[in-house]
């Protein structure tokens, strides 16, 4: 069971953990004496907290400590105690899954009383869904073991916890330094009849076991076999929740692509028939579908994840600079990393006193906010009250993790409808025996979509024809499709009013999708593509295959073009530039 120990600086977290190890006989033989002796030699007072440092490098002894995790066991079970050095590390660990606490020990110094971080940490526990909290009122020796002091702090903190929806498991008066109520009862606290810290650990309940939740595995990487004519791929990742078995029908999101599990490979171990949450695995599938890092593997017969680009979150900000409207950050959830922006701040809360405002324009350090975030493309995730590990995210500012939180609502976005159709299409896609790689090898190219757009008079079609000809002469499988060919054919049933505008683009994208699947380099020309048109195309097609060229000086696609060319530049030069742009697609 994973337990995190939190609290204000210097309130005695490390001392309590050190004491717990010492008093339960969990330390290697002679360690305590050795550390005491070292302190004496250097004439500095002994601290139980030093035991943690002293143990850091001793992996081989029954107990090990890495970074801030302490492993030890009682007769009931094994524990990992996470002595989180700060908020950011704690949040990072909780989100990345490095250490997912199920219960917490929250330490408050009896002499200093409830401090800002006592509250912030409490808030963070509540936000992350850790509802089992034992509050340890430490350093009771400094207040002469007064029951009144304990009662007062307990009551004050209890009131705070109630406001944030946590019912403390218990309050325990302790002295880490003197060893009262850690694992032993002494005369000093004879007025206290409750459990010791050691006893309370075994009382914590194991949460909903992650294995019993629906299957979620964020895709970490895709490895291709390199042997001749072997087109299998291994999809690697760590199972976040649920279990996966050979033969299971699985669906990847946001794409909606579906296949069956053919084998489950494990590192340095024989393949297994099934495996559950917490394990890192490599899966091979019966059909060689094309999926990317960041997608989420789920079971076909299970609760599907949410997929959208707009989310309502509860976010804790820790960056030095405040989080602001109009600025781009990155959101990391599972193995997915996408740009993100605040769309709206609904409420900002001071996590230490719960003062709130709903007119804030930014989120300052240590503040908590309910806000709407938007991303340029959809991600797959879950809601906090359903499957919490895949609802947790961190926000990266430049290269620093500066905040994090949970998603509690999925909101519609402009692409919701189209996306649903695409998921449905991918999910029902009828596979052929020829893989994407085989086609690419045959044609000596990767499929690509080159969108050439610009103002009415711009020479889009001339450029497209020249480009097609050039590629054709090079032996490529290439096709030029003017949007008119679709509008007057496939779309003959659609009127030409603004309402049907998106549908024209959805159909165009569907045609393009089939041609890309064939392995073609497809060149499409259209007048003045708008951002919303491009978004439909990007939602419908694997978007790393798309390149957009804007011809002319003014660009109405709001910067979505990958290349701008001047209207009157020499044709040859323009063709060269486009070829450069798609170079990686050509040399498969
Ligand atoms: P950070 O990791 O820096 O946040 O601190 P911490 O919460 O881990 O506190 P630590 O265990 O390092 O203790 C801080 C100081 O408080 C040390 O000098 C301890 O000796 C002292 N201390 C811890 N517990 C007790 C106690 O029960 N009684 C007394 N008198 N001092 C204590
Ligand atoms: Mg410490």
Give residue 15 CA to ligand 1 midpoint distance, Å: 5
Lowest-confidence pick of 229-243, 320-334, 504-518: 229-243
Neighbouring C-beta atoms of residue 115, cutoff 10 Å: 17
| Residue pair 355/349 in contact by the 8 Å Cβ criterion | yes
Give the side-chain half-sphere CA count within 13 A for 231.
15
Nearest CA to ligand 1 atom 20: 47
Q: Could you tell me which of 442, 414, 433, 447 has the C-alpha nearest to residue 541?
A: 447
The Cα–Cα gap between 305 and 382 comes to 5
> What ligand has the least distance to the C-alpha of 50?
1
User: Using CA atoms, how far apart are residues 185 and 182, in angstroms rounded to an integer?
Assistant: 8
Neighbours of 209 (CB within 10 A): 10
* pLDDT tens digit sequence for 130-178: 889 999 999 999 999 999 999 999 999 999 999 998 999 999 999 999 9
- Mean pLDDT of the region 392-401: 94
Between the CA of 82 and the centroid of ligand 2 the distance, in Å, is: 11
**H or E stretch at 462:** helix 460-473
Distance of CA 11 from the midpoint of ligand 1 (Å): 5
Instruction: Using alpha carbons, list the distances in angstroms from residue 428 to 255, 367, 431.
Output: 12, 45, 9
Look at residue 59 in the predicted model and tell me its pLDDT.
Answer: 46
Nearest CA to ligand 1 atom 23: 12
What would the mean pLDDT of 558-563 be, rounded to a whole number?
81
Average pLDDT over residues 20-26: 87
Most ligand 1 atoms within 8 A of CB, residue of 12, 48, 120 to mutate: 12
Query: Residue 25 above 90 pLDDT?
Result: no
Which range has highest mean pLDDT (1-5, 340-344, 398-402, 435-439)?
A: 340-344
Closest C-alpha residue for ligand 1 atom 15: 10
Q: Tell me, what's the pLDDT at 66?
A: 53
Residue 30 confidence (pLDDT) above 90: no
Query: What is the arithmetic mean of pLDDT over 31-37?
Result: 89
Query: DSSP letters along 337-381, please?
Result: EEEEEEEEEEEEEETTT--EES--SEE-TTEEEEEEEEEEEEEEE
What mean pLDDT is reported for the chain? 90
- SS3 state at 36: helix
Confidence at residue 61, expressed as pLDDT on a 0 to 100 scale: 46
Which pLDDT band holds residue 543 (cuts at 50, 70, 90)?
A: confident
pLDDT > 80? residue 97: no
Q: How much of the chain exceeds pLDDT 90, in percent?
A: 65
The ligand that comes nearest to the alpha carbon of residue 112 is 1
pLDDT the model gives residue 351: 86
Whether residue 60 has pLDDT greater than 60: no
Q: What's the pLDDT tens digit per position in 177-236?
A: 999 999 999 899 999 999 999 999 999 988 767 888 999 999 999 988 766 666 678 999
Question: For the residues 413-426, what does the mean pLDDT come to?
Answer: 93
Checking if the pLDDT of 448 tops 80, the result is yes
576 SS3 class: helix
- Residues 475-485: what's their mean pLDDT? 95
Distance 167 CA to ligand 2 centre (A): 25
What was the pLDDT predicted at 231?
A: 65
Contacts of 487 (CB under 8 A, 6+ apart): 494, 504
- Which protein residues are within 6 Å of ligand 1, measured from CB? 7, 9-15, 47, 49, 138-139, 141-142, 175-177
Residue 383 has pLDDT above 50, yes or no: yes
The residue-averaged pLDDT of 24-53 equals: 87
Buried b (16+ CB within 10 A) or exposed e, 551-583: bbeebebeebbebbbeeeeeeeebbeebbebbe
Q: Which of 49, 150, 178, 186 to mutate to test the pocket of ligand 1 (most atoms within 8 A of CB)?
A: 49
User: pTM of this prediction?
Assistant: 0.86
């Amino acid at each position: 069971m994973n337990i995190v120990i939190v609290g204000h600086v210097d309130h005695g977290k490390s001392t309590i953990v050190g004491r717990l190890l010492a008093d339960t006989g969990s330390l290697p033989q002679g360690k305590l004496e050795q550390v005491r002796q070292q302190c004496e030699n250097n004439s500095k007072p002994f601290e139980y907290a030093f035991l943690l440092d002293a143990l850091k490098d001793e992996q081989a002894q029954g107990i090990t400590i890495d970074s801030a995790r302490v492993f030890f066991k009682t007769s009931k079970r094994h524990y990992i105690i996470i002595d989180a050095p700060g908020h950011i590390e704690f949040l990072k660990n909780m989100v990345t899954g490095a250490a997912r606490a199920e219960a917490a020990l929250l330490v408050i110094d009896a002499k200093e009383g409830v401090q800002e971080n006592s509250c912030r940490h409490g808030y963070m526990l509540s936000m992350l869904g850790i509802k089992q909290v034992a509050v340890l009122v430490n350093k009771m020796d400094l207040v002469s073991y007064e029951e009144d002091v304990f009662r007062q702090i307990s009551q004050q903190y209890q009131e705070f916890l109630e406001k944030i929806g946590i019912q403390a498991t218990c309050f325990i008066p302790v002295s880490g330094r003197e060893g009262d109520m850690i694992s032993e009862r002494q005369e000093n606290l004879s007025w206290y009849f409750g459990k010791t810290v050691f006893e309370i650990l075994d009382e914590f309940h194991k949460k909903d076991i992650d294995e019993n939740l629906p299957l979620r595995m964020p895709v970490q990487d895709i490895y291709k076999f390199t042997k001749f004519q072997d087109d299998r791929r291994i999809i690697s990742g760590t199972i976040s929740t649920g279990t996966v078995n050979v033969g299971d029908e699985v669906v990847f999101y946001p794409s909606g692509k579906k296949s069956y599990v053919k084998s489950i490979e494990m590192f340095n171990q024989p393949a297994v028939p099934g495996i559950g949450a917490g394990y890192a695995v490599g899966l091979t599938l019966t059909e060689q579908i094309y999926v990317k890092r960041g997608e989420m593997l789920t079971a076909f017969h299970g609760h599907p994840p949410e997929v959208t680009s707009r989310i309502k979150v509860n976010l804790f900000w820790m960056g030095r600079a405040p989080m602001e409207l109009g600025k781009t950050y990155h959101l990391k959830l599972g193995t997915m990393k996408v740009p993100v922006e605040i769309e709206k701040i609904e409420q900002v809360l001071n996590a230490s006193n719960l003062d709130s405002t709903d007119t804030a324009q930014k989120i300052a350090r240590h503040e908590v906010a309910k806000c709407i975030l938007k991303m340029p493309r959809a991600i797959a995730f879950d809601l906090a009250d359903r499957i919490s590990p895949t609802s947790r995210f961190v926000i990266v500012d430049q290269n620093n993790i500066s905040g994090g939180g949970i998603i509690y609502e999925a909101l519609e976005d402009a692409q919701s409808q189209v996306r649903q159709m695409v998921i449905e299409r991918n999910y029902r896609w009828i596979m052929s025996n020829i893989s994407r790689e085989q086609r690419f090898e045959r044609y000596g190219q990767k499929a690509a979509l080159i969108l050439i757009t610009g103002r009415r008079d711009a020479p889009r079609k001339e450029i497209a024809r020249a480009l097609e000809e050039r590629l054709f002469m090079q032996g490529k499988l290439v096709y030029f499709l003017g949007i008119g060919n679709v509008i007057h054919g496939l779309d003959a049933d659609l009127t030409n009013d603004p309402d049907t505008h998106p549908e024209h683009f959805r159909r165009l994208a569907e045609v393009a999708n089939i041609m890309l699947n064939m392995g073609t380099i497809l060149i499409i020309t259209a007048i003045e593509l708008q951002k919303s048109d491009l978004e439909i195309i990007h939602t419908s097609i694997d978007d790393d295959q798309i390149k957009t060229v804007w011809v002319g000086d003014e660009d109405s696609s709001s910067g979505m073009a990958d290349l701008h060319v001047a209207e009157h530049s020499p044709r040859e030069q323009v063709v060269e530039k486009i070829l450069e742009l798609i170079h990686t697609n050509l040399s498969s």
